[in-house]
């Protein structure tokens, strides 16, 4: 007589290839470290951009130095975040060394992506708060696109010969700022706009015709120079941001792979700890 024994097999769902706990932890650490370093750089005058009118007059060397500092911040912060993402153990067993490196690298890349999003959100909130405080303090319309880039030129343009404390020129400054922004175009400020500015200066500053025209021409030329300098600064800032983000992705991947090696017992002597996964091979 034959006895058939039915064996019940238990199936468990495989662990996900990408664990979000290491990625989120690395992203938070990287974003926090990046915020601290950027704040420190801004405090010592290495901010990659500034709302102050004096920033446009900064030398090219300062722009480049600020850009290099931003790249250095990205390398350090994203590298640290990627290392943490790779160093934290995950629950997926893998015996293939290539699979281990791929998984650790993806954890570092996920930490980099989350850190970039967090850093952009934090920077946007800080910038909006600063712009709101500046607008409230100066009692100016929020739609003044020329402020604070051309604030000094607007002050020069409407500076009266005799001070009138009750004069309110907020709307005129906003309109004039939009006109002066066209000075950087190929055609420059239109003739009718120049005539209108002369009339505004004549009525607000109380200058005669020739003096008002001379002041308008000087301010238009100064505005064109200020916009050109600000444009060069924006190009350097954009290139620095893009380079730092791309290099940060590479560093996060490599740092995560290195963190995975240290996690699996291949750490150097000064960082050697008890292996968290002794059954897994180390990747060299």
From CA 155, how far away is CA 158, in angstroms rounded?
6
From CA 10, how far away is CA 18, in angstroms rounded?
24
Q: Which of 42-46, 119-123, 178-182, 269-273 has the lowest mean pLDDT?
A: 269-273
Q: Which of the 8 DSSP states describes residue 57? A: G
pLDDT tens for residues 262-273?
Answer: 887 765 554 554
Which residue stretches of 88-169 are H helix? 97-138, 151-157
pLDDT at 165 over 80: no
Query: Are the CB atoms for 131 and 51 separated by under 8 Å?
Result: yes
pLDDT of residue 188: 85
Across the range 79-106, mean pLDDT stands at: 78
- The residue with greater pLDDT, 1 or 210, is 210
153's tokens: 């030129």
- The percentage of residues in the chain with a pLDDT greater than 70, rounded to a whole number, is 67
Across the range 241-260, mean pLDDT stands at: 91
Across the range 187-198, mean pLDDT stands at: 87
Q: How confident is the model at residue 276 (pLDDT cuts 50, 70, 90)?
A: very low
The residues, ordered by sequence, that sit 6+ positions from 172 with a Cβ below 8 Å of its Cβ are 158, 200, 204
pLDDT at 231 over 50: yes
Strand, helix or coil for residue 195: helix
Strand, helix or coil for residue 163: coil
H or E element, residue 212: helix 209-263
pLDDT of residue 273: 47
Q: How confident is the model at residue 40 (pLDDT cuts 50, 70, 90)?
A: confident
Query: Are the CB atoms for 260 and 100 separated by under 8 Å?
Result: yes
Q: How confident is the model at residue 91 (pLDDT cuts 50, 70, 90)?
A: low
Q: Which of 85-99, 114-128, 161-175, 268-282 has the lowest mean pLDDT?
A: 268-282
pLDDT tens for residues 127-158?
Answer: 677 666 655 545 544 445 566 667 767 777 77
- The percentage of residues in the chain with a pLDDT greater than 90, rounded to a whole number, is 14
From CA 249, how far away is CA 261, in angstroms rounded?
19
Decide: pTM greater than 0.85.
no
């Amino acid at each position: 007589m034959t006895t058939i024994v039915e064996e019940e097999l238990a199936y468990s769902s495989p662990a996900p290839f990408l664990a979000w706990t290491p990625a989120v932890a690395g992203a938070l650490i990287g974003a926090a470290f990046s915020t601290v370093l950027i704040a420190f750089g801004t405090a010592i005058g290495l901010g990659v951009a500034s709302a102050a009118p004096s920033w446009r007059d900064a030398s090219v060397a300062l722009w480049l130095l600020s850009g290099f500092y931003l790249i250095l911040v990205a390398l350090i912060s994203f590298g640290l975040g990627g290392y943490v993402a790779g160093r934290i153990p995950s629950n997926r067993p893998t015996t293939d060394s290539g699979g281990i490196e791929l998984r650790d690298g993806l954890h570092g890349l996920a930490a980099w992506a989350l850190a970039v999003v967090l850093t952009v959100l934090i920077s946007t909130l800080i910038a909006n708060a600063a712009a709101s405080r500046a607008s409230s303090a100066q009692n100016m319309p929020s739609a003044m696109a020329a402020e604070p880039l051309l604030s000094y030129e607007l002050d020069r343009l409407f500076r009266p010969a005799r001070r009138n404390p009750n004069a309110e020129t907020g709307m005129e400054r906003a309109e004039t700022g939009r006109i002066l922004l066209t000075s950087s175009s190929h055609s420059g400020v239109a003739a009718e706009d120049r005539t209108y500015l002369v009339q505004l200066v004549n009525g607000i500053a109380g200058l005669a015709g020739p003096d008002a025209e001379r002041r308008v021409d000087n301010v238009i030329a100064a505005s064109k120079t200020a916009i050109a300098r600000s444009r060069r600064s924006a190009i350097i800032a954009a290139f620095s941001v893009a380079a730092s983000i791309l290099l940060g992705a590479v560093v996060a991947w490599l740092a995560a792979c290195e963190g995975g090696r240290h996690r699996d017992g291949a750490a150097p002597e000064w960082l050697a700890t008890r292996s968290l996964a002794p059954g897994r091979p180390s990747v060299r």
